[in-house]
Chains A and B, each alone.
Chain A
Amino acid sequence: SQQGEEDPQALSIQEGENATMNCSYKTSINNLQWYRQNSGRGLVHLILIRSNEREKHSGRLRVTLDTSKKSSSLLITASRAADTASYFCATDYTSGTYKYIFGTGTRLKVLA
């Protein structure tokens, strides 16, 4: 079963608007990662945030992590048509191995 779940499942916004997607997970983690996938192939890493961090930025991306609520959010500011993709969170477990479990994804569509 999936460890993480993103919401919303789908999001449609106008170019220039901000997009926020959320990820919830079930067990304690070492780190959480966000990935983007275009056209159903080739995931691209966006940001990794560790369990002792609360916020990270990379360009127009901002990720927050709330370990007490077991949730994370990804904010894309000033969205562009090229941001149209599926976004996934991936979490590991603090169980001694570092397998990563991906969520179900948010399908973002940015309208020009």
Chain B
Amino acid sequence: GAGVSQTPSNKVTEKGKYVELRCDPISGHTALYWYRQSLGQGPEFLIYFQGTGAADDSGLPNDRFFAVRPEGSVSTLKIQRTERGDSAVYLCASSWDSQYEQYFGPGTRLTVT
């Protein structure tokens, strides 16, 4: 079946702009995770959803970052007033439930100029 997909694959934006990153999880997976990864580092946890609700958003760096999953499937990560330090690869993963293996999407490479 289809894996986790993320769109766009690449996004270049100017400092101060607003961006939305989309994640389509594997059908039936209740848990959805967002991470970001900088070069040479491991994925950094941002937020995870169990169903429609954010079960843990402790990794969001500040209030410019927000994520939603209104129907318990597709999720959107929203970044307001982007800064150059937001440049990274944003990874999405889903799993059948939160105590099981995660399936990762290919990521969105965000570049803020």
B62-95 at interface with A (beta carbon < 8 Å): 89, 91, 93
Query: Please, could you name 16 A-B residue pairs with CB atoms under 8 Å apart, sorted by A?
Result: A33-B102, A41-B107, A42-B105, A43-B91, A43-B93, A43-B102, A44-B104, A45-B102, A48-B100, A88-B42, A90-B102, A98-B48, A98-B56, A98-B98, A98-B99, A102-B43
Interface of A is mostly: strand
Across-interface contacts of A45 in B (CB, < 8 A): 101-104
Contacts A45-B103, A48-B101, A102-B35 given; does A88 touch B56 at CB 8 Å: no
Q: How large is the interface on A (under 10, 10 to 19, 20 to 34, 35 or more residues)?
A: 20 to 34
* A-B Cβ contacts below 8 A, count: 65
Q: How large is the interface on B (under 10, 10 to 19, 20 to 34, 35 or more residues)?
A: 20 to 34
Residues A100 and B33 in contact, CB atoms below 8 Å apart? yes
**In the assembly, what is the distance between CA of A104 and CA of B37, in Å?**
11
Across-interface contacts of A42 in B (CB, < 8 A): 104-107
* B63 nearest CB across to chain A (Å): 19
* A40 nearest CB across to chain B (Å): 7
